[in-house]
Amino acid sequence: MEETFHALALKLQDKNPSLSYEEARTWVEALWEDFESTRARAGRSYKGQEVTERIVAEWIDRFGHKLHEYFSSNPKFQHLLKKGPKH
């Protein structure tokens, strides 16, 4: 998992260079956890790390450059916005 999180964090940094590696890594871990917990709460079966990795990578591709805009209204992500991307 370490290699996966590292690769996704680098991908996110590439999409959003205003994020430090630590911020990007925190975003990746938060998105990963949110996807898996939301899926579990919905009663869906676990499909494996590959599915979660694919979804998080898709979110990074679509929203990575402006995560702060897409997730700013979600209280689960508020702590990630305190420092957040610089405008």
Question: Which pLDDT tens digit goes with each residue over 1-18?
Answer: 899 999 999 999 999 998
Q: Smallest Cα–Cα separation from 63: which of 75, 77, 49?
A: 77
| Helix axis angle, 21-41 to 2-15, nearest 10° | 110
Kindly report the CA angle at 44 between 63 and 25, in degrees rounded to 5? 35
Which alpha helices (H) appear in the chain, and where do they start and end? 2-15, 21-41, 49-63, 67-70, 78-81
Beta strands in the chain (DSSP E): none
Per-residue pLDDT tens digits for 40-75: 777 777 777 899 999 999 999 999 998 766 555 556
Rounded to whole angstroms, the Cα distance separating 47 from 62 reads 22
pTM: 0.76
